[in-house]
């Protein structure tokens, strides 16, 4: 990951960090509509839009876009390349979080297509990397074996997505829910494999209204401690 487009509030320190990952064959510009929506909703947030370090290899000569890992070859080869790409993403997220003095709970990953697959896999492999993930038109490369602890996962998908059909993602979401994951899944009709404005708006609504289970637990514990400290009559 050699380049990144960065937006940081001009006055004062940011209070949130969003790292947004484009799809294969694209570049950071693809994530601009999501970045703009996040900036409107969270003007104090820092936005980092990195570009994949590899040229897109599905087109002879590489084309104009980038990728996080090659999708050429069989499923085993693609899965191995995905696994190999995760440490680089983790290092990038940790580097920016440290630079901005941001705790992991205030970091969120967003991704579309291959970027969403990479973000979801990173949260499966690494605990305390980010508190939320927004996965647009993505998938789980591996069947989930555990639920990321204290991470809110928001899956956003088009019902007409022919490239990564939604049923497999919903099955994975059900499995994660059974494992105790903090997860939402929105499938919108008449939307294909795209970072559609309706999906972005739904993501903004989830960010505004969804209360992470971690905060509920903290509130319950605080209430219990308060109840203990109150005098009995």
The CB density around residue 86, as the number of other CB atoms within 10 Å, is 20
The CB density around residue 229, as the number of other CB atoms within 10 Å, is 7
Sign of CA pseudo-dihedral 66, 72, 75, 81: negative
* pLDDT value at residue 12: 83
Q: In angstroms, rounded to a whole number, what is the distance separating the alpha carbons of residues 191 and 31?
A: 17
CA–chain centroid gap for 91, Å, is 15
* pLDDT value at residue 111: 98
139: which 2 tokens? 């998938």
Q: Tally the C-alpha atoms within 13 A of residue 85's C-alpha that lie toward its C-beta.
A: 26
Q: What angle do CA 10, 14, 20 make, to 5 degrees?
A: 100
Q: In angstroms, rounded to a whole number, what is the distance separating the alpha carbons of residues 233 and 35?
A: 55
Q: Parallel, antiparallel, or unpaired: how do β-strands 16-21 and 182-188 relate?
A: unpaired
* pLDDT value at residue 170: 95
Q: pLDDT per position in the chain (233 positions), as tens?
A: 457 899 999 888 899 999 999 999 999 999 999 999 999 999 999 999 999 989 898 866 556 799 999 999 888 898 899 999 999 999 999 999 999 999 999 999 999 999 999 999 999 999 899 999 999 999 999 999 899 989 999 999 999 999 999 999 999 999 999 999 999 999 999 999 999 999 999 999 999 998 776 655 555 555 556 556 666 65
Q: What does the DSSP assignment read for 174-193?
A: HHHHHTT-EEEEEEETT--S
Q: Among candidates 49, 4, 17, 56, which has minimal Cα distance to 30?
A: 49
* pLDDT value at residue 231: 63
Is residue 3 a contact partner of residue 82, using CB atoms and an 8 Å limit?
Answer: no
Q: In angstroms, rounded to a whole number, what is the distance separating the alpha carbons of residues 154 and 15?
A: 20
Q: Parallel, antiparallel, or unpaired: how do β-strands 3-7 and 66-67 relate?
A: unpaired
* pLDDT value at residue 64: 74
- Biggest distance spanned by C-alpha atoms of the chain: 80
- DSSP secondary-structure letter at 26? B
* pLDDT value at residue 226: 58
């Amino acid at each position: 990951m050699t380049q990144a487009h960065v937006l940081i509030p001009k006055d004062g320190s940011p209070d949130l960090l969003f790292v947004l990952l484009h799809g294969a064959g694209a570049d950071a510009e693809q994530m601009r509509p999501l970045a703009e929506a996040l900036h409107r909703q969270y003007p104090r947030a820092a936005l980092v839009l990195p570009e994949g370090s590899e040229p897109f290899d599905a087109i002879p000569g590489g084309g104009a876009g980038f990728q996080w890992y090659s999708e050429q070859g069989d499923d085993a080869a693609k899965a191995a390349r995905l696994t190999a790409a995760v440490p680089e993403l983790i290092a990038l997220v940790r580097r920016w979080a440290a630079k901005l003095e941001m705790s992991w709970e205030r970091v969120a990953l967003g991704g579309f297509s291959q970027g969403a697959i990479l973000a979801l896999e990173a949260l499966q492999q690494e605990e305390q990397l980010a508190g939320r993930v927004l996965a647009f038109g993505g998938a789980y490369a591996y069947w989930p074996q555990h639920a990321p602890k204290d991470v809110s996962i928001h899956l956003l998908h088009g019902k007409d997505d022919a490239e990564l059909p939604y049923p497999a993602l919903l099955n994975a979401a059900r499995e994660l829910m059974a494992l105790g994951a903090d997860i939402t899944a929105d499938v919108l009709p008449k939307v294909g494999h795209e970072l559609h404005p309706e999906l972005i708006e739904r993501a903004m609504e989830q960010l505004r209204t969804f209360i992470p289970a971690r905060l509920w637990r903290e509130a319950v514990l605080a209430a219990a401690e308060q109840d203990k400290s109150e005098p009995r009559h």
